[in-house]
Each structure stands twice: as C-alpha cells, then as structure tokens.
Amino acid sequence: MKSFVFALLKSKYLFDQYIIKREFAQGEDKWSLKRLHFYNDKSQSYINTFDSSATNDSEDGFDGINRRILMLLSALHVSTPTLVYKHWLNGALYQLYYMDEIKPVAYLEKLEHLARQFVFGRFLQPEGAEYFAMIYQGAGYRALDSDDESVMDLLRHGAIENNLVFNYLDYLLWCNGVESSTDAVINQFEFTFRSSVEHFYPRHPLDGHKKLDKSELHRFGNLCLISHSKNSKLSNVQPSAKRDHFKAAINDKNIDTLKLYKMIQHLNDSGEWGVKEILEHEQKMIDILKKDSKAGSNG
C-alpha cells in the first residue's frame, strides 16, 4: 500500500512539474510548462520548468528547449480532445517515472520517440501496434515507406486514424522553421483544438469550377486541419478565396495550422492550386515525415 501511495504522489509531482497546463496571463490563454520556484520563505513564483536559472526569462518567447517540449506535448494533447484514453499522457508519465534524472534533452528525445511510435508505428501502418505495446513494452516503428500503397492509403481522407498525423507534421514544420527562418507566423505558432479535416481544393466547388477526381481530391497534399466553424464556412470555396480569408490572420502572425500555411505559400508561388500543386506539396510533406521516421526506426 505504501508503494502505491508513493507512486501516486510521485506521479502527481511529475505531472505538476513536467506536463503542460493552460495559463491565463497578460490577457491571453496559452499553454505553459512551468514549475514553482522558491526564492526564499516569503518569495515564490512559477518559472519555465527547464529554465537554465531562476532569473532567466529568455524562454518565455518562442525558442529554447522548454518551448520545444511544450510544443510537442501540446501537439499530442490537442490530437486527442476526449477526456479519456490519454495514451500520450500515460506514455509521458511512464517515461518520467523511470528517469533517474530528468534532463530536458533526454525528456524531449523520449517524447519524440513516443510520438513516432504513435504516428509511424500505429497510424501509418496497416497493422499498427497497440498502445500498451508501444508505451510499456517499447514496441518500435518502421521508417515511412512511401512506395507502399497500403501505407499511403492511410494518409487519404477518411483513412487517417488520428489528427496527430497532421499535428506531428506541424511540429516538424515548426522545428524546421524556428531553426532556419525568421518567419513570425511559424515562430509564434501554437497548437489549438482544430479537429476538422479541410480539402483545400473543395469537394463541391461553387461557380462552375471543375471537380477533381477523388483520387487527387482526397490526397494528403490537399488536406489540412482547421476549426470546425471555418470548415463549414469555407468548405466549398476555391483555394484562392480560402487564402484571402486567412490573409488577415497571417498578417497578425497567426494561422490555424502550419500545413495550411505551407499550402497557402505554395498557392502564392504557383498562382494556382490544382493536381500538380497537390502532388508537389504532398511530396514535400512526405519527405519531411520520411526523414523524421528514420530516427530510431527498426526497419
């Protein structure tokens, strides 16, 4: 009984210290990854969990490993909006519980491995691993095989098992962006609960525009996540109209998802959005997923 109670207390402590929360500050409601710091008996405050020092505020912005861990945790969380079956939370706490010393780089590596297990070991495998095997038995994953039609079929509309496929790709796009660009839209991106899968080129186009064949229409290159309300409003309009709708948000350094942002940029560069652009964008996104899937894969 003592060991069980101790395990509960330890898990609660780990949850409080190393799992994201919502924080309302400066008029905004955002994700935070913070711990309580005692300066002395009369002075305490919350600081970033992985600040290098108690007085270092540099990671309150949009970089640093504290931010990167926060981004991945929030990507995992918003992919499963239900209040039950938080498999990512089980996995994160399980890893934390058995770490001799919790260091940010090691914690991030374990979280990325967990995300890859889910995406490449379950969601993008015809016979995906069970959560128990992935979390508690260390079941591995194979590198993404874009030549396998049965795998690529799992990236088509109606076959994507979990929105983590989109959100983990957005995490990778964010990581690549903050490392190589000064684009504020990417740097300030935050994961939110976007649950509707949008066809950038519409399924039922208005004003006599041509319909795309389903083989191209439902490809991963034509899909992105947006909010349900925007999906209802924008579902049948042309990609150029969708771009114009998001123009004000982009000017305000805001966007629903980074995959959508990349699609809009591709549209701006090419001047149109058709089968050719869908295939080009899809290949770029698949290449990013493939490169990441090779990290620690067992095949």
Whether the Cβ atoms of residue 270 and residue 277 lie closer than 8 Å to each other = yes
Does any domain span residue 89?
yes
pLDDT at 52: 57
pLDDT, one tens digit for every residue, the chain (299 residues): 889 999 999 999 999 999 999 987 777 788 999 988 777 777 777 889 997 544 444 444 556 899 999 999 999 999 987 777 899 999 999 999 999 999 999 999 999 999 999 999 999 999 999 999 999 999 999 999 999 999 999 999 999 999 999 999 999 999 998 877 789 999 999 999 998 999 999 998 887 889 999 999 999 999 999 987 776 677 789 999 999 999 999 999 999 999 999 999 999 999 999 999 999 999 999 999 999 999 878 77
Please give the Cα distance from 52 to 254 (Å, whole number): 29
Q: Say whether both 10 and 137 belong to one domain.
A: yes
Please give the Cα distance from 44 to 187 (Å, whole number): 30
Q: Say whether both 118 and 15 belong to one domain.
A: yes
pLDDT at 41: 72
Q: Say whether both 136 and 9 belong to one domain.
A: yes
Looking at beta carbons, which pairs linking 290-297 to residues 24 or more positions away fall under 8 Å?
Answer: 290/143, 290/144, 290/146, 292/116, 292/172, 293/116, 293/119, 293/120, 293/141, 293/142, 293/143, 293/144, 294/143, 295/112, 295/116, 296/113, 296/116, 296/140, 297/116, 297/120, 297/140, 297/141, 297/142, 297/143
Does any domain span residue 111?
yes
Does any domain span residue 24?
yes
| Counted domains in the chain | 2
**Number of Cβ within a 10 Å radius of residue 239:** 22
Q: Say whether both 139 and 10 belong to one domain.
A: yes
Q: Say whether both 139 and 190 belong to one domain.
A: no
Does any domain span residue 70?
yes
pLDDT at 165: 98
Does any domain span residue 37?
yes
Residue 40, domain extent:
2-145
Q: Say whether both 138 and 185 belong to one domain.
A: no
Q: Say whether both 115 and 182 belong to one domain.
A: no
Q: Say whether both 111 and 14 belong to one domain.
A: yes
Prediction pTM value: 0.92
Q: Which of 127, 145, 163 is the last residue of a domain?
A: 145
Q: Say whether both 89 and 139 belong to one domain.
A: yes
Q: Say whether both 133 and 187 belong to one domain.
A: no
